[in-house]
Structures are given as C-alpha cells and as structure tokens.
C-alpha cells in the first residue's frame, strides 16, 4: 500500500512513498548529532583518569619511599627532619654494601630455586586436579570439590604446626624439600583451573575421543594448549607468592644456607640494631626479579584475566 503526501509547492502532483516507509520528522534527520554517552564524555574520561591516578599513587608512594630510603646513609634514614632530601645527599653505597656482603646472591638463589619448584609442582598438580574435577566422573567428586573450595577458607598459619610435624616424621626437616612441598598445596588454583576447563568447548574433547584419545591425551594435547594464558597467569601468581613467602621458610629451616630473601632481609642487622637503609636496599633488589617476571608475562596475564574467570566473568 502506497501513501501520498501533500502536493509540492506550485504543482498539483503528489509524491508517493514506498510501502512500509515513513518520512522522517523534522529535526530527526540521520545526520543529526546525538549527545555522547556517559562513558564517552570528556568528564567521564577525566574522572576515570583521576581515579586511576589516585589508586596508582597509593601503590607507588610506598615504593617511592623505599627507594628514597635505600639511597640514603644510615644516619639520614633515621632522621625525620630531612626525610625528603638527606643532609649528605643520595648515595648508592647501601646497594654496594648489600651486594658485597655475599649473602644476597645465596638468598636470591634459594628464593629462585624454591619459587621455581613450587610453581612447577603447583601448576602441574592444580591443572591435573582441575581437569579431574571438570571432565571426569567418579564417586565422591562433588564432596572432594566442596572440600577443596572449603580449604580456601583455611588460613595457612593454622597449618604451620601440622606441616612441621609432618616434615619431622618424613625425615626431611631443614631441607629444600621441607620448604617446597607444603607450599604446593593451592586449593584456589585448583578452583580457578577447574572453572577454566569448564569454559572450554566439549566438542574438542569429543572429537579427540572419536580419534581414540584417552584422558591423558585429551588433557595434554587438547586442553593444555588452549590454556596457556591461564597457566601462565597462575604460574606468575604462584611464583610471586612463593617468592614473598616468609613464615613457612622461616619456620621450616634453621640452616643459614637455606635462607630465602624474605628471611634473609630480617637478618640485616648490626650491633646498633636494624639498618633501615640497607634493609630497604635489600628489599628493592629482592623485588627486581618479580618486576621482570611480571613484565615478561604481562600479555599472558592480561589475556587470561580478560577472557576467563579471574576477572569475575
């Protein structure tokens, strides 16, 4: 059905309109500009940038204070009146003293060895456990998974005494194994990887099973290659946690040759007490490997958070 509009000026003819189409009202032409949405307005961008700067400053201020203290002498580090600009100026002597003592390379080696072993074992065990909870059916699966989730709520401090007695029973107290093995228990990583495996399409697993693949083949050749970003993110989080762990390495060993960096930093003292500038210099050097690890795996971490459950999706 066609409709007609009033005749044009000076003529008696009418202009037909195609069926189902209406003439746009005056002032609503397609080229008319619309008001920007809230997220696209300049005010919203300014407010978001201000909020980000505020949150970034709360993280950078302690770091800046630590660097500032590490660049001072011991006398200037304990002088509250000249906390910003020291009387004797800035110096790198504290860093050279820490490196020349000879303890820092040993502490760093121990931390790297322990953190690497904990990361490899935790990722391997958590990935296999997450696959078992996600893709296999066995009796008691729901009960075991519920206990795993409940274990996330247990503070690690409550397990210090049972862990220590277990290490003594096994005869591995005051060894690398005693420092490493208890830290491989990570229920939260099992939960994260289980949810990640749940999000992967089951059609790929079914296609592999048609070709005769078993559980191990599906896990190793199908699911793990698809989970590299998530595994990288989990590995980085576990590595950082193991690197910064103080309580269990402090309790599990008394051998100075097994000290990790967090434990060694507490030993930076002299006859006059704690050396604040030297302690901060040691802490800055201890944090440097973590910064490098994060920068190296930054893309994988952002990709895993953006595409899987770590970002609340």
Q: Do residues 59 and 112 both lie within one domain?
A: no
* Percent of the chain surpassing pLDDT 90: 32
Mean pLDDT of the 17-32 span: 51
- Whether 122 has a pLDDT exceeding 90, the answer reads yes
94 within a domain of the structure (yes/no) = no
Task: Give the pLDDT confidence score for residue 285 in this predicted structure.
Answer: 84
Beta bridge partners of 156: none
Q: Do residues 74 and 220 both lie within one domain?
A: no
- Whether 3 has a pLDDT exceeding 80, the answer reads no
28 within a domain of the structure (yes/no) = no
Q: Do residues 164 and 75 both lie within one domain?
A: no
Q: Do residues 74 and 114 both lie within one domain?
A: no
Task: Give the pLDDT confidence score for residue 311 in this predicted structure.
Answer: 44
Q: Do residues 76 and 164 both lie within one domain?
A: no
* 236-239-241 Cα angle (round to 5): 110
The 3-class secondary structure across 199-231, one letter per residue, is: HCCHHHHHHHHHCCCCHHHHHHHHHHHHCHHHH
- Whether 71 has a pLDDT exceeding 90, the answer reads no
Of 27, 53, 82, which residue constitutes the final position of a domain?
A: 82
Mean pLDDT of the 103-126 span: 92
Q: Do residues 130 and 182 both lie within one domain?
A: yes
Q: How far apart, in Å, are the Cα atoms of 215 and each of 77, 133, 135, 220? A: 59, 12, 9, 9
- Count Cβ neighbours within 10 Å for each residue of 83-106 and write b for 16 or more, e otherwise: eeebeeeeeeebbebbeeeebbeb
Q: Do residues 268 and 199 both lie within one domain?
A: yes
Task: Give the pLDDT confidence score for residue 151 in this predicted structure.
Answer: 92
Single out the residue of 293, 294, 242 nearest to residue 121, CA to CA.
242
Single out the residue of 280, 283, 235, 205 nearest to residue 123, CA to CA.
235
Q: Do residues 60 and 169 both lie within one domain?
A: no
Q: Do residues 73 and 183 both lie within one domain?
A: no
- Whether 15 has a pLDDT exceeding 60, the answer reads no
CATH number for the domain that contains residue 159: 1.10.3720.10
90 confidence band (pLDDT: 50, 70, 90)? confident
Q: Do residues 132 and 259 both lie within one domain?
A: yes
- Whether 25 has a pLDDT exceeding 60, the answer reads no
72 is in which domain, residue-wise? 43-82
Q: Do residues 173 and 248 both lie within one domain?
A: yes
Task: Give the pLDDT confidence score for residue 269 in this predicted structure.
Answer: 63
Single out the residue of 239, 228, 144 nearest to residue 193, CA to CA.
228
């Amino acid at each position: 059905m066609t409709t007609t509009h009033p005749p044009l000026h000076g003529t008696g003819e009418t202009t037909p309109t195609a069926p189902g189409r209406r003439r746009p009202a005056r002032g609503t032409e397609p080229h008319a500009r619309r008001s920007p949405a809230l997220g696209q307005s300049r005010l919203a961008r300014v407010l978001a940038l201000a909020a980000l700067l505020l949150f970034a400053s709360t993280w950078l201020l302690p770091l800046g204070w630590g660097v500032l203290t590490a660049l001072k002498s011991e006398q200037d580090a304990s002088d509250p009146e000249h906390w910003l600009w020291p009387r004797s100026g800035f110096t790198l002597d504290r860093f050279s003293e820490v490196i020349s003592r000879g303890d820092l390379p040993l502490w760093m080696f121990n931390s790297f060895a322990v953190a690497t072993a904990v990361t490899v074992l935790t990722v391997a065990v958590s990935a296999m456990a997450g696959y078992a909870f996600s893709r296999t059916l066995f009796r008691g699966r729901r009960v075991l998974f519920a206990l795993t989730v409940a274990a996330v709520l247990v503070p690690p401090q409550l397990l210090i005494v049972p862990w220590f007695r277990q290490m003594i029973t096994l005869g591995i107290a005051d060894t690398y194994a005693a420092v490493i093995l208890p830290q491989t228990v990570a229920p939260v990583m099992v939960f994260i990887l289980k949810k990640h495996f749940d999000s992967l399409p089951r059609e790929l697993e079914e296609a592999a099973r048609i070709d005769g693949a078993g559980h191990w083949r599906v896990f190793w050749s199908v699911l793990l290659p698809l989970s590299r970003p998530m595994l990288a993110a989990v590995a980085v989080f576990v590595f950082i946690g193991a690197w910064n762990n103080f309580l269990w390495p402090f309790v599990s060993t008394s051998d100075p040759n097994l000290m990790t960096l967090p434990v060694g930093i507490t030993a930076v003292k002299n006859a006059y007490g704690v050396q604040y500038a030297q302690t901060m210099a040691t802490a800055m050097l201890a944090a440097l490997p973590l910064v490098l690890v994060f920068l190296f795996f930054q893309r994988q971490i952002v990709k895993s958070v953006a595409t899987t459950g770590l970002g609340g999706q």
